[in-house]
C-alpha cells in the first residue's frame, strides 16, 4: 500500500492550518502586533506634551496680564498718591509733636489725629499703597530704604536699621518713596564681655587689659 495519499492529506492539512493562522494573524511577528499600540502611545505623549505647553503659555499670559494690570493701576494713581504723601507726613509730624501726658481738649485732639492717620493709612492699603517704616534691628533694604546717617549702636548690629527718620511708601511692589533711615555703623551690636578687661594684679592692684 502506498503512503502517497496519506502524505498528501498531511500536506493539505498543513496548508489549511497555515491559511487559518494567516487569517487570524497568528503567524505574524509579535512586534508587528504591538506597532499600532506604540503608535497610539506616541500620539498620546505628543498630545500630552502639547497640553502641557498650552497650560504653561496660559499661565505666563495670566502673569503678564496681572503685571500689566498692576502697572496700569499704579500709573493711574501714582501721581495722586505722591500728593497724598505730604498729608501723611504732616499728620505724622503733628502726632510726634503732640504732648503725650495731657488732659481735656488736647487729648481729644491727639485722638482725632491718630484716628485720621489710621483712616488715611487704611485707604492707602486698600489702593495698594503700603507704608514702609522699618523697626530698629531690621535688615537694610536698598530697594526700600535710604540711608541718611550712620551711627554706632550697642544694640543693633552693623548695617541694620537703627531708626526711621521718615516713612517710605511702595505701590504694588514699586517704591514710590524710600524710607529715610539711620543705619548702625560697622562693628555695632552687643559686645561680649572681655575676660582681660579687668584682672587683679599680684600686689592687689587692678590690671587694665585694654591698655
What are the pLDDT digits (tens) for 29-69?
555 567 788 888 888 888 988 999 999 999 999 999 988 88
Rounded mean pLDDT of the chain? 78
Grid cell digits, residue 30 = 509579535
Q: Which CATH superfamily is domain 65-182 in?
A: Head domain of nucleotide exchange factor GrpE (2.30.22.10)
Name the nearest CA neighbour of 163 among 137, 185, 189, 186.
137
Grid cell digits, residue 10 = 498531511
Grid cell digits, residue 5 = 495519499
What are the pLDDT digits (tens) for 90-144?
888 888 888 877 677 788 888 888 999 999 989 988 888 888 999 999 999 999 9
Split at pLDDT 50, 70, 90, the class of 145 is very high
Q: How many CA atoms lie within 13 A of 76 on its CB side?
A: 8
Predicted local distance difference test score (pLDDT) of residue 208:
47
Q: Please, which residues have CB within 8 angstroms of residue 154's CB and are 6 or more apart in sequence? A: 188, 189, 190, 191
Split at pLDDT 50, 70, 90, the class of 192 is very low
Answer with the residue of higher pLDDT: 159 or 14: 159
What are the pLDDT digits (tens) for 58-97?
999 999 998 888 778 777 788 888 888 888 888 888 888 8
Amino acid at each position: 500500500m502506498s503512503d502517497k495519499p496519506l502524505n498528501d492529506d498531511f500536506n493539505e492539512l498543513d496548508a489549511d492550518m497555515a491559511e487559518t493562522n494567516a487569517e487570524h494573524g497568528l503567524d505574524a511577528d509579535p512586534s508587528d502586533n504591538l506597532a499600532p499600540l506604540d503608535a497610539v502611545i506616541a500620539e498620546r505623549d505628543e498630545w500630552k506634551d502639547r497640553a502641557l505647553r498650552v497650560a504653561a503659555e496660559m499661565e505666563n499670559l495670566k502673569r503678564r496680564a496681572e503685571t500689566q494690570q498692576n502697572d496700569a493701576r499704579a500709573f493711574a494713581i501714582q501721581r495722586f498718591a505722591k500728593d497724598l504723601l505730604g498729608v501723611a507726613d504732616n499728620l505724622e509730624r503733628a502726632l510726634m509733636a503732640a504732648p503725650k501726658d495731657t488732659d481735656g481738649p488736647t487729648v481729644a485732639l491727639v485722638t482725632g489725629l491718630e484716628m485720621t492717620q489710621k483712616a488715611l493709612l487704611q485707604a492707602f492699603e486698600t489702593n495698594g499703597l503700603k507704608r514702609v517704616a522699618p523697626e530698629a534691628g531690621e535688615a537694610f533694604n536698598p530697594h526700600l530704604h535710604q540711608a541718611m546717617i550712620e551711627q554706632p549702636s550697642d544694640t543693633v548690629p552693623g548695617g541694620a536699621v537703627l531708626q526711621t527718620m521718615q516713612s517710605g511708601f511702595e505701590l504694588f511692589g514699586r517704591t514710590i518713596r524710600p524710607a529715610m533711615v539711620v543705619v548702625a555703623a560697622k562693628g555695632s551690636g552687643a559686645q561680649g564681655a572681655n575676660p582681660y578687661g579687668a584682672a587683679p594684679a599680684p600686689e592687689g592692684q587692678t590690671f587694665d587689659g585694654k591698655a
